[in-house]
């Protein structure tokens, strides 16, 4: 499972129990160094939400009662995914959150997926550390364009990765970002560019990963 391999499991996390006070929670947050941690029930199995350091300090600054339970300032109670959810659901659920909580098939709290682990996975899929050039290729977004582009490039080099952007913006030029295998030279890129031009495609950006 992709999510499971990227997740930080519950046993390696700092969490707070739902019945601790705000005063106790801020102590846990300060000691951990995190700005936000998950809130769980007494059993440690049920995810209740997140508690943020800034919300507690704001509450305290406004004269709020620090003996209230941490759930008084609970946030993101419905912000979670499951281990078997698709990558796209995770990607669009996490958005501005520092992490997304992950539940198992029994809806028990399994762990969290952080922004950094998600970005690391995207970096690996982009083959930044195992490529020679990244080409951004413009096309009209017509059916079959990607197959034609790939066929042209494969005459000169192997493709390490491919990402297509602007897929929902029909009035704009489609951008396809392709990472070429290691060892490709500038001369080969020029040959690829000329071949693409003949078929109506254009390299609008080129990045040499060796630099």
Domain ranges of the chain: 2-121, 126-208
Looking at domain 2-121, its CATH class is alpha beta
- pLDDT attached to residue 77: 95
> Which residues, including other chains, have CB under 8 Å from residue 2's CB and lie 6 or more apart?
87
pLDDT bin (cut points 50, 70, 90) of residue 168 is low
Q: Give residue-wise pLDDT tens across range 115-150.
A: 888 877 776 666 666 789 999 999 988 889 999 999
Provide φ and ψ at 18, rounded to 5°: -65, -20
DSSP type of residue 75: B
The per-residue pLDDT of the chain, averaged, comes to 90
Q: Is the pLDDT of residue 103 over 90?
A: yes
The helix, strand and coil proportions of the chain, stated in percent and rounded to the nearest 5, come to 35, 30, 35
Closest CA to 117 of 134, 100, 133, 132: 100
Q: What's the average model confidence in pLDDT over 65-77?
A: 96
- pLDDT attached to residue 119: 77
Q: Do domains 2-121 and 126-208 have the same CATH topology?
A: no
CB atoms near residue 205 (< 10 Å): 11
- pLDDT attached to residue 54: 97
Q: Is 166 exposed, middle or buried (0-12, 13-18, 19+ CB in 10 A)?
A: middle
In CATH terms, the superfamily for domain 126-208 is ACT domain (3.30.70.260)
pLDDT bin (cut points 50, 70, 90) of residue 164 is confident
- For 41-123, strand residue ranges (E) read 47-52, 80-82, 99-103, 109-114
């Amino acid at each position: 499972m992709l999510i499971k391999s990227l997740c930080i499991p519950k046993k390696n996390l700092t969490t707070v129990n739902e019945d601790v006070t705000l005063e106790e929670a801020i102590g846990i947050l300060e000691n951990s160094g995190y700005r936000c941690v998950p809130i769980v029930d007494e059993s440690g199995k049920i995810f209740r939400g997140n508690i943020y350091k800034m919300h507690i300090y704001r509450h305290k600054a406004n004269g709020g009662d620090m003996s209230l339970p941490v759930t008084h300032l609970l946030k993101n109670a419905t912000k979670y995914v499951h281990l078997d959810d698709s990558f796209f659901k995770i990607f669009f659920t996490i958005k501005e959150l520092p992490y997304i909580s992950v539940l198992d098939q029994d809806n028990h709290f399994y762990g969290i997926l952080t922004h950094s682990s998600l970005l690391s996975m995207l970096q690996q899929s982009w083959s930044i550390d195992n490529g020679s050039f990244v080409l951004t290729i413009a096309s009209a977004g017509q059916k079959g364009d990607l197959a034609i582009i790939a066929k042209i490039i494969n005459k000169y080099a192997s493709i390490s990765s491919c990402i297509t952007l602007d897929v929902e913006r029909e009035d704009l030029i489609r951008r396809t970002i392709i990472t070429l295998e290691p060892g490709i030279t500038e001369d080969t890129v020029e040959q690829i560019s000329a071949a693409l031009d003949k078929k109506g495609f254009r390299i609008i950006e080129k990045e040499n990963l060796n630099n």
